[in-house]
Amino acid sequence: MSKKVSLKLDIKVIPSKLSGELKLPPSKSIAHRHIICSALAEGVSEISNIAYSQDILASIDAMKALGARFEMGKDCIKVYGIGNKIKLLEIDDKASDKEKRNKLEAKDIATRESNNKDYIEKLVINCRESGSTIRFLLPILTIFNKKFHIQAQGRLLKRPMDPYFKIFDMEGISYQKNQEEILIEGGKGLRSEKFYMDGKISSQFISGMMFLLPLLNHDSEIIIENKLESKSYVDLTIDCLSKYGIEIENNEYKSFKIKANQSYISRDSYIEGDYSQAAFFAVANALGNEIDMLGVSESSLQGDRKILELLKNFGASVKFVDYLISEDLDLEKNIDNELKNKESSLDEKSNRKKLLIRQGCKKGYSFDGSDIPDIVPIVALLASLSKGKTRISNIFRLRIKESDRLEAVDCELNKLGANIKSGEDFLEINGVEKLNGAVIVDSHKDHRIAMMLAIASTVCKEAIIIKDADSVSKSFPDFWEKYRELGGIYECDLG
């Protein structure tokens, strides 16, 4: 096991070839969903193969604030859900607001008396920089008779939240937003039966509504206006909900019907490998590195699985092969005995594939990036070293991520010798033969930009210095340790 790395904010990365086997980190997108579903369920669930990135810790802390309890192991969590408490909070939709308040207050008084503690009316929840956490959480808060102070870090509160605020305005839910926090007074739930949502907004808003609506006392429907982007993330939500006993009727992504009075059911699960993270090492291979990736599902619903199709179009070779777990791989050899039920064991077995990607004749390829914004920065690196022109279009949403990723990609890769032009919603890239290095590049405190630059260093002529390299902790806490294990060379202090 490598020694734990304690990083300075800036590190110097020396060009080196990466090779070996890498177990990919579990999918952050899927893990968020399982944390929320298991916390809303009645009973105990166990989530295996989980990594404690800053985003995942934000979701865990948020659900703790709502009453769920977590026993956190090295790479698994036991979750004690609050499904029984949610049943106590059911609201009669036909009752007046005053009657609803009286019912909820009576239940809160009973809880206070039984605990013999002072009642805490206000709860502070820090979502850190996690867009998934805050957007999945906000609708759920409306059924809890508390006042919530939602705090955040970085650019999170500058990112759009208006779809929820419009719903809160229509529903009479009290909220305030400033540069430091969002204040929400819950307890009312949502009374409408139909919710109109723009398909061009982040799919996280639609997923957030799907977590809440099954708990209401009336049937409801989400109606999509305009074409729905990032469908795969909605698919991940529906799939996860179904595993926890919640049914969502998908009408060709034009609307989603949700039955009332559903209950989340506890279960055990295994989180598959993350294609968003696999994309960095996949592109590294397409640029001449040789990393065999373990743990991703060949039949995954993750939208970023499209990296495989893109790599083929850029000229790389892609294939899956079976592998057996062996003692020399840190892959939880006895996991079948540790998992608690058949379903989660099958989840794990479906990920026993080795993903092999190798360099081919690199050629430019233009595509629409609207459904896969998270992998655009690393694909832009590949396009920079591919013959001909690449245009990545419909990617305006990259401007409102942890950084303005269009600006970051344009600025930092051009420093290295790439030929990139960014527009309002596109990147236009003319391939070059090589990247130079010998410069200071900036991660913009964005985990995906930092990891993209780390991969870029493997094909630079000279070393580069990456500012705020520790930003990788948002999604991949041990990225730099894994990078070194694969042969990457960098200079920093060891803790």
Residues 63/35, Cβ–Cβ less than 8 Å: yes
pLDDT the model gives residue 354:
93
The one-letter code for the residue type at 6 is: S
Q: State residue 85's pLDDT score.
A: 84
Q: What pLDDT does residue 179 have? A: 82
Is position 87 annotated in a ligand binding site?
no
Does position 136 have pLDDT exceeding 90, yes or no? yes
Pick the closest to residue 31 from 54, 66, 59, 62 (CA basis). Answer: 59
- 354 carries a ligand binding annotation: no
Catalytic residue among 268, 304, 374, 410: 374
91: confidence class by pLDDT, cuts 50, 70, 90: very low
Helix axes 203-212, 162-171, angle to 10 degrees: 40
> Quick check: 335 pLDDT over 70?
no
7 pLDDT more than 80: no
- Note whether 318 and 296 are within 8 A (CB): no
Specify the CATH architecture of the domain 11-25+273-326+350-492.
Answer: Alpha-beta prism (3.65)
What does the alpha-carbon distance between residue 463 and residue 440 come to, in Å, rounded to a whole number?
9
Average pLDDT (378-405) is 96
Q: Is 159 annotated as a binding residue?
A: yes
pLDDT beyond 70 at 328: no
Contact 203, 163 (CB under 8 A): no
Task: Compute the CA torsion angle 126, 130, 132, 134 (nearest 10 deg).
Answer: 30
pLDDT at 100 over 90: no
pTM: 0.86
Helix (H, G, I), strand (E, B) or coil at 186: coil
Of the pLDDT bands very low, low, confident and very high (cuts 50, 70, 90), residue 173 is very high
Mean pLDDT value across residues 49-71: 96
Res. 281: pLDDT tops 50: yes
Tokens 């060949």 sit on residue? 298
The pLDDT of residue 183 is above 80: yes
Give the mean pLDDT of 402-418: 97
Provide the pLDDT for residue 492. Answer: 84
**Local structure of 16: helix, strand or coil:** coil
Question: Residues 397-422, buried b or exposed e (16+ Cβ, 10 A)?
Answer: bbebbbbbbbebbbbbbebbbbebeb
101 is in an annotated binding site: no
**Mean pLDDT on 288-315:** 96
- Where are the extended beta strands (E) located within 42-170? 44-48, 69-72, 76-80, 122-126, 147-151
Neighbours of 62 (CB within 10 A): 27
Confidence of residue 62 (pLDDT cuts 50, 70, 90): very high
Q: How many CB atoms lie within 10 A of CB 287?
A: 22
Q: Is 33 annotated in some ligand binding site?
A: yes
The string of DSSP codes covering 348-400 is HHTT-EEEEEE----B---EE-TT-GGGHHHHHHHHHTSBSEEEEES-GGGGG
Q: Please state, for a pLDDT cut of 90, what percent of the chain lies above it.
A: 78
Q: What is the pLDDT of residue 188?
A: 84
Ramachandran assignment for 20, one of left (phi > 0), alpha (psi -120 to 50 degrees), beta (any other): left
**Residue 474 counted as an annotated binding residue:** yes
Q: What is the mean pLDDT of residues 152-181?
A: 92
pLDDT number for residue 111: 42
Amino acid at 280: F
Distance of alpha carbon 391 from alpha carbon 423, whole angstroms:
11
User: Is 108 known to sit in a ligand binding site?
Assistant: no
- pLDDT of the residue at 323: 76
Q: Which two tokens stand for residue 208?
A: 């957030």
* Cα–Cα distances in angstroms (integers) from residue 433 to residues 376, 378, 387, 388, 398, in the given order: 20, 17, 8, 11, 27
Helix (H, G, I), strand (E, B) or coil at 408: helix
The greatest distance separating any two alpha carbons of the chain, rounded to the nearest whole angstrom, comes to 72
> Which residues belong to CATH 3.65.10.10 in the chain?
11-25+273-326+350-492, 28-91+121-270
With residues binned 3-state (H G I as helix, E B as strand, rest as coil), the percentages for the chain, rounded to 5, are 40, 25, 40
* Positive or negative: CA dihedral 281, 28, 365, 400: negative
Residue 119: what pLDDT? 47
pLDDT at position 4 is 44
CA–CA separation, 254 and 423 (whole Å): 30
Distance of CA 251 to the CA centre of its chain: 25
What's the whole-number mean pLDDT along residues 1-7? 44
Q: Report how far residue 223's alpha carbon sits from residue 246's, in angstroms, rounded to the nearest whole number.
A: 19
pLDDT band with cut points at 50, 70 and 90 for residue 324: low
pLDDT score of 395: 95
Mean pLDDT for the stretch of residues 368-385:
96
Asked which of 9-23, 177-191, 377-391 is least confident by mean pLDDT, the reply is: 177-191
E-assigned strands of 213-352?
220-225, 248-251, 255-258, 268-270, 290-294, 317-322
310: burial class by Cβ within 10 Å (0-12, 13-18, 19+)?
A: buried
> pLDDT per residue over 196-207, tens digit each?
999 988 899 999
Query: What does the pLDDT read at residue 422?
Result: 95
Q: Give the C-alpha separation, 284 to 379, whole Å.
A: 10
Per DSSP, the three-state class of 11 is: strand
Residue 277 CB: number of other CB atoms within 10 A?
Answer: 29
Supply the DSSP symbol for 5. Answer: B
Out of 25-39, 211-225, 268-282, 318-332, which region has the weakest mean confidence (pLDDT)? 318-332
Surface-to-core class of residue 390, CB atoms within 10 Å of its CB (0-12 exposed, 13-18 middle, 19+ buried) = buried
Average pLDDT of the segment spanning 396-420: 96
Residues 489/13, Cβ–Cβ less than 8 Å: yes
pLDDT digits (tens, 9 = 90+) for 228-254: 988 999 999 999 999 999 999 999 999
Q: State yes or no: 135 annotated in a binding site.
A: no
Is 28 annotated in a binding site? The answer is yes
d(CA 457, CA 300): 30
Residue 315: left (phi > 0), alpha (psi -120 to 50), or beta? Answer: left
Mean pLDDT, the chain, integer: 88
DSSP state for residue 464 in the 8-state scheme: E
Is 29 labelled as part of a ligand binding site? yes
Residue 19 φ/ψ, nearest 5 degrees: -155, 160
374 is catalytic: yes
User: Do β-strands 353-358 and 69-72 pair in parallel, antiparallel, or remain unpaired?
Assistant: unpaired
Residue 70 has pLDDT above 90, yes or no: yes
Asked whether residue 230 is marked as a ligand-binding residue, the answer is yes
Judged against a pLDDT cut of 60, whether residue 68 lies above it is answered with: yes
**28-91+121-270, which class in CATH?**
alpha beta
Quick one: which of 129, 164, 123 has its CA closest to 56? 129
